[in-house]
A and B are shown apart, each in its own frame.
Chain A
Amino acid sequence: MDQAERLFRTYHETLVRYLTRRLGDRDWAEEVAQETFVRALRQETIVNERSWVFAVAHNLVRDGARRDARHRRHLELLASEQREAAEPSAEEVMEQTLERAQVAALARRALNSLGERDRQALLLKEEGLDYGEIASVLQIERSSVGTTLSRARRRLAETYEALEAERRGGSSAAS
């Protein structure tokens, strides 16, 4: 197994999950992950693999978003078209329960309510990066990672709870 393959096997899953959570789009996440590994192929030496991989992905997303926001929408549409071309399964469609979808929507809203740095720190931590790696990816001081995470977790939980209460209030009012 060569270096590139090992990197891919080690980090692909977690990187795609991180990017999917961050971007809210699996296809886009896959695309960024692929580009990340392509760059890893070109890189001669990587000191800290995990933080390097996440940092490159992080920068790709950031630069891509700056460069052309419309491109993302276009890719989303193309991805949809591509998936549509394949024959989907009704079983799979319906496997997604209403409750889970609602929870996911609330989670997305709660996460989006966080500041960019807080959100990234939280998502990176969820992928198992340590404080040093998070600091490296986000280019912040290591000593501020704990504070950032603490603030992010509290705000996320509070916002989610508020949204959940709002939803419950809305649904009980409707019934």
Chain B
Amino acid sequence: MIHAWLDGELDAAEAARVEQLVETDPEWGAVAAEARGLVAASSRIVGALDVVPDGVIPAGSKAGHATAKTSRFSVRPWMRMAAGLALVAGTAYAARTRFADIGELPVAKSAPSSVLADSPAVAGTVAAPETPAPAPARPAPARSATVGVAGTIAAGTGAQDRQREATPPAPARAQARPDASAPVDQLASAVAEITRSEDSLRKAMVASRAVDDSSRAERLRRLQNSELRLSEVVVTGVAEPPRDSTLARAQPRRAAAEPTREAAANSAGTAALRPRIVIDREGNALGGLFNASALEGCWRTRTTAAVDSVLVNPRVVAMHRDTLLVAFIPLSEGRRAVLFPETIRVVRRGADELRGLANDRDGNPVAFTATRITCP
């Protein structure tokens, strides 16, 4: 009755009667107040549903994108990798067939180095400098093993890969990597979540195979290729090399003082992310693209914790749904790098501003804001 009255569904006489009761009888008044609260609460809760569906998989705006995306078929890392591998295999097969009688296999000479270098599984800095380069046909497993996290999120962008090619890896990276702890744990956690999602995706793929018309089969083929992309492993970028000799000298001291934190920070790296399709356990389709290189630069931070004001190059550790996990790298020498090894949840990102939560040394959450500045 009260709900019907609040919803305006009673006729005039009934409504007047209820109104009078509500005004005069405290019991009716209390019931009406509670019902008003329930109406408001349910409206608010239902309204909250409008947040997710159109935001999880972003719409096709092109604003603010630094990623150079030429075509679907030219930039996708998995396609380059597949093309590279196919080319190598084809060349090897042809060479084996053609040159078998003269006992020479010119595969090493004729392998398309540019294609291989462009492949995300071969290019980049993850392959440790001191580690012998893996055979071209088996690049991905070598990467997984190096990073120590199996089956991470997605493949890197071609632009980022090229950028990483141009950046020589710091020697400290490979040394520190095996001691990775906190950020890698975070990453591993995110990876576990994504891996579970992959399982759901595979099940969805199997279910979808029942669809038998040709156009659907074609779409399905592309979806299955998308699945391949999920299983690629590209975690790159580890620690930035010191910006100057002073910082280079400071690096070993800090590593000695805080070996675990240093190692963790060095191993945090960048999980370069590509568009992906993930079905979560509730059956929701998730996807997204994050251009990690857009974060590079210097940022002035404001937090309630004691921390250096200038940090550099937030590194994307992982992205799960709309939570971006990043680790900052401090710039100045005499800093207390409270945020340095910590994983920061960025809950809002603008072009020149990040807002989020970090943890201080005691593990307490600390709100922070970072604003992009010109690097000193």
A21 to B322, CA, bound (A): 19
Chain B interface, number of residues (Cβ within 8 angstroms): 76
Interchain CB contact under 8 A, A92 and B211: no
Interchain CB contact under 8 A, A86 and B59: yes
Interchain CB contact under 8 A, B64 and A157: no
Q: B63 near A: Cβ within 8 Å?
A: yes
A99 to B345, CA, bound (A): 11
B207 → chain A closest CB, angstroms: 5
Identify B60's interface contact among A87, A98, A111, CB under 8 A. A87
Given contacts A88-B58, A90-B291, A122-B46, contact A81 B322 (CB under 8 A): no
Q: B324 near A: Cβ within 8 Å?
A: yes
Q: A47 near B: Cβ within 8 Å?
A: no
Chain A interface, number of residues (Cβ within 8 angstroms): 61
Interchain CB contact under 8 A, B277 and A81: yes
A122 to B44, CA, bound (A): 12
Q: A4 near B: Cβ within 8 Å?
A: no
Interchain CB contact under 8 A, A146 and B9: yes
**Chain A residue at minimal CB-CB distance from B346:** A94
Which residues 59-99 of A sit at the B interface, judged by CB distance below 8 A? Answer: 70-71, 73-74, 76-81, 83-99
Identify A96's interface contact among B46, B55, B72, CB under 8 A. B55
A108 to B45, CA, bound (A): 9
Determine the chain A residues whose CB is within 8 A of the CB of B288 once the complex forms: 88, 93
Determine the chain B residues whose CB is within 8 A of the CB of A93 once the complex forms: 55, 58, 288-290, 322
Interchain CB contact under 8 A, A81 and B38: no
Contact with B along A117-137 (1 / 0, CB 8 A): 000001101100011000000
Determine the chain A residues whose CB is within 8 A of the CB of B61 once the complex forms: 87-89, 91-92
Name, among A71, A74, A99, A126, the residue most crowded by chain B CB atoms within 10 Å (CB to CB): A74
A-B contact pairs, 27 of them (CB 8 A): A21-B46, A73-B279, A76-B279, A76-B285, A77-B208, A77-B223, A78-B223, A79-B57, A80-B285, A84-B277, A88-B275, A90-B64, A91-B64, A91-B351, A93-B55, A94-B346, A94-B350, A95-B348, A96-B56, A97-B348, A104-B50, A104-B52, A105-B52, A107-B48, A122-B42, A131-B7, A175-B365
**Top-3 shortest CB links A-B:** A86-B60, A88-B58, A94-B349
